[in-house]
Amino acid sequence: MSSTISENSTQSRNPLAGGGRERYLEKRPLSPEARFRTMSSMQQTDPAYERGLPSNLYAERMVLGAVLMNDASFITVAASLAPDDFSLEKHRRIFQRMLDIHGRDERIDRVTLANELMRRGELESVDGLSYLVSLDEGLPELYNLESYVAIVKDKSLLRQVIFTSQELMHRCYMGEEGPADIIGAAQTTLMGLSQAQAKDDLISAAQVFERAEGGLDGFLDPSRRVQGTSTGFLRFDEMTGGFHGGELIILAARPAMGKTALALNVALHIATNRARPQAVAVFSLEMSKESLMTRLICSRARVNQQRFRVGHLDRDERARLTMAASDLFEAPLYIDDSSATTLMDVNAKLQKLTSQLKANGQELGLVVVDYLQLMPTPNLGRSSNRTLEVGALSRGMKLMAKDMDVPFLVLSQLSRAPEQRLGDHRPQLSDLRESGSIEQDADLVSFIFRPEVYQKEREDLRGVAELILAKQRNGPTGKIPLVFLHEYTKFENPADDFIDDTPME
């Protein structure tokens, strides 16, 4: 009896199983002949087509039975599973009522569970009290409950991948959306499934110390503690300790303030550091790779970009350009200038790059994205809006940085609020355009402010710049003075700062 119910329930969840297959095919814009050929080919060439959705009813029963035997185990189960992770409708209902009982801080057993189901008129829908009794009757104490939970979760993820694939197929056949929207939705969904699968266990304080280089003594010794990567801006490095792996660093400013210039300055410093050069990946959704290379080489050689473009160069400038080109030629600097690069594209390209670098004994030291609001946003459904979409991008960037243990320097636009603000035009966190969760996800938020943009008549402000450290999760905030060299499109330390080219390790 139960096996028949299980089979029917499982099949009913599959739009392509049984009678649902014809209904699904009817939604496709195909001729009757094409529809018949499609059904026939599926039945004849795909043995897995008739197997139904992935599930393990035995593991589901073991999990539910273990909770009824000892409700203390419910916390372990609920930490990994949700009602929708169960394949049978009656199992989903049983687990949901367990959640309700636990939420009221009551014990979970046969009596309380049956009472809760009866109170909601659902007892018969789960095959009555006899089925609840069968879940834990004769069940031994499970010492490997986590293994059964993992099986249920794995099958749930496989079903979600199938549902996602079927939904994408349906949207493709309907043809009501463009390919970019459909692909964006697929990327968002699949990335969410990937994140749901990757969960690390909690570790004790002792394990943190043991895993640190040099053990507890190494953890407490500042000279042996791992520091971040130097940006080339001395005061910024003093306040932040440099860029650290896993950090999401937001660099925001109004247009023409120099976001790209500052990001390229940092990228160039890391990639050409004499003591320890590290690879840098630059994703530019706004400028071409030729324009970026022009900026880089002129900044490195300290040559006026306009003179370079028109070719009015003297012998000394040509010599400096040749030397700068030689440095860049050897630098592990990688550029992608595709204007349609998505979050999944960035992830895929970085995974490929890190594999190549690892094979050559190199490491990725920084990822630059220029800039956030230009990246195609994932389709989050009808309830989506621009703020939620940009927030999903920032969250995705943070997760990638953490998973890859690499700092992400992500450029962002600001709203018009600084220009409309009377008096002080310095940016604030609330000025982040379509901020959503940007400032929440970011470990560090900095703004570029050049007062000469707002007071063009004052010659004494020419070249004066500030890097405003508005948020730092693990350190102080404040203003860092910089100098902006217009002719080279380059930021530098003030003359009274000591420039240290040694890496921070």
Placement of tokens 């993820």 in the chain: 157
| Beta strand spans in 287-422 (E) | 333-336, 364-370, 408-413
Q: What are phi and psi of 482, to 5 degrees?
A: -135, 170
179-197 vs 343-359: helix axis angle to the nearest 10? Answer: 60
Quote the pLDDT of residue 366: 92
Residue 80 confidence (pLDDT) above 60: yes
User: If you search the block for the tokens 């003093």, which residue do you land on?
Assistant: 238
Number of other CB atoms surrounding residue 238 within 10 Å: 13
pLDDT given at position 72 = 82
Predicted local distance difference test score (pLDDT) of residue 408: 93
| Class of residue 261 by CB neighbours under 10 A (exposed 0-12, middle 13-18, buried 19+) | middle
Residue 7: other Cβ atoms inside 10 A: 12
444 neighbors 457 (Cβ within 8 angstroms):
no
What whole-number distance in Å separates Cα of residue 143 and Cα of residue 341?
A: 47
Residue 387 and residue 244: Cα distance in Å, rounded?
Answer: 27
Higher pLDDT, 30 or 453: 453
If we measure between CA atoms, which residue out of 242, 462, 208, 251 comes closest to residue 370?
251
Q: Which helix (H) or strand (E) holds 418?
A: helix 417-420
More confident residue, 76 or 16: 76
Q: What is the pLDDT of residue 368?
A: 92
Name 207's Cβ contacts closer than 8 Å, sequence gap at least 6. Answer: none
**Judging by DSSP bridges, how do beta strands 364-370 and 333-336 pair with one another?**
unpaired
* Confidence at 485, pLDDT banded by 50, 70, 90: confident
Residues 369 and 401: beta-carbon distance below 8 Å: no
Q: Residues 468-486, buried b or exposed e (16+ Cβ, 10 A)?
A: bbbbbeeeeeeebebebee
pLDDT at 214: 64
Mean pLDDT of 44-56: 62
Q: Does residue 371 have a cis peptide bond before it, meaning omega lies within 30 degrees of 0?
A: yes
- Residues in the chain, overall count: 505
Task: Provide φ and ψ at 492, rounded to 5°.
Answer: -140, 165
- Predicted local confidence at residue 499, as pLDDT: 45
Alpha helices in 123-272 (DSSP H): 128-136, 145-174, 179-197, 205-211, 215-220, 234-240, 259-271
Q: Is the pLDDT of residue 1 over 60?
A: no
Give the confidence band of 495 by pLDDT, cuts at 50, 70, 90: confident
Residue 367 has pLDDT above 90, yes or no: yes
Query: Whole-prediction pTM value?
Result: 0.61
Q: pLDDT tens digit string along 121-144?
A: 988 898 888 898 888 877 776 778
Q: Pick the residue with more confidence: 129 or 177?
A: 129
pLDDT of residue 433: 65
CB-CB contact of 499 with 232 (8 Å)? yes
More confident call, 151 vs 437? 151
CATH architecture of 57-176: Orthogonal Bundle (1.10)
* pLDDT digit string, tens, across residues 108-122: 888 899 999 998 898
What pLDDT is stored for residue 73 in this prediction? Answer: 83
Catalogue the long-range contacts made by 6-12 (C-beta closer than 8 Å, 24 or more residues apart): 6/57, 6/88, 7/52, 9/87, 9/88, 9/89, 9/90, 10/52, 10/53, 10/55, 10/57, 10/87, 10/88, 11/52, 11/53
Model confidence at 487: pLDDT above 50: yes
When the pLDDT of each residue in the chain is averaged and rounded to a whole number, the result is 77
Residue-level pLDDT at 224: 52
Higher pLDDT, 235 or 30: 235
As a whole number, mean pLDDT of residues 187-213 equals: 65
The DSSP string of 130-159 is: HHHHHHHTTPPPPS-HHHHHHHHHHHHHHH
Q: Tell me how far apart the alpha carbons of residues 161 and 19 are, in angstroms, rounded to a whole number.
A: 22
Going by C-beta distance under 8 Å and a sequence separation of 6 or more, which residues neighbour residue 453?
254, 256, 257
Residue 195 has pLDDT above 80, yes or no: no
Rounded to an integer, the average pLDDT of 186-201 is 63
Phi, psi torsion values for 385, nearest 5 degrees = -145, 175
Provide the 3-class DSSP secondary structure of residue 504: coil
Q: Give residue 37's pLDDT.
A: 43
Nearest to 14 by CA among 42, 55, 44, 43: 55
Backbone dihedral angles phi then psi of residue 369, each to the nearest 5 degrees: -120, 120
Q: How far apart are CA 228 and CA 245, in angstroms?
A: 8
Name the most confidently modeled range: 177-186, 378-387, 458-467.
Answer: 458-467
List the chain domain ranges: 57-176, 253-492
User: Tell me: the pLDDT tens digits for 227-277?
Assistant: 678 888 888 888 888 888 888 999 988 888 888 889 999 998 898 887 788
Out of 3.40.309.10, 3.40.630.10, 3.40.50.300, 3.60.20.30, select the CATH number for domain 253-492.
3.40.50.300
Tens-digit pLDDT profile for residues 290-342: 888 888 888 888 888 888 887 778 888 888 888 888 888 888 889 888 877 77
Q: 174 and 29 in contact (C-beta within 8 Å)?
A: yes
d(Cα 412, Cα 253) in Å, to the nearest integer?
7
Q: Which residues of 191-220 are buried (b: 16+ CB within 10 A; e: fewer)?
A: beeeeeeeeeeeeeeeeeeeebeeeeeeee
Residue 407 banded pLDDT, cuts 50, 70, 90 = very high
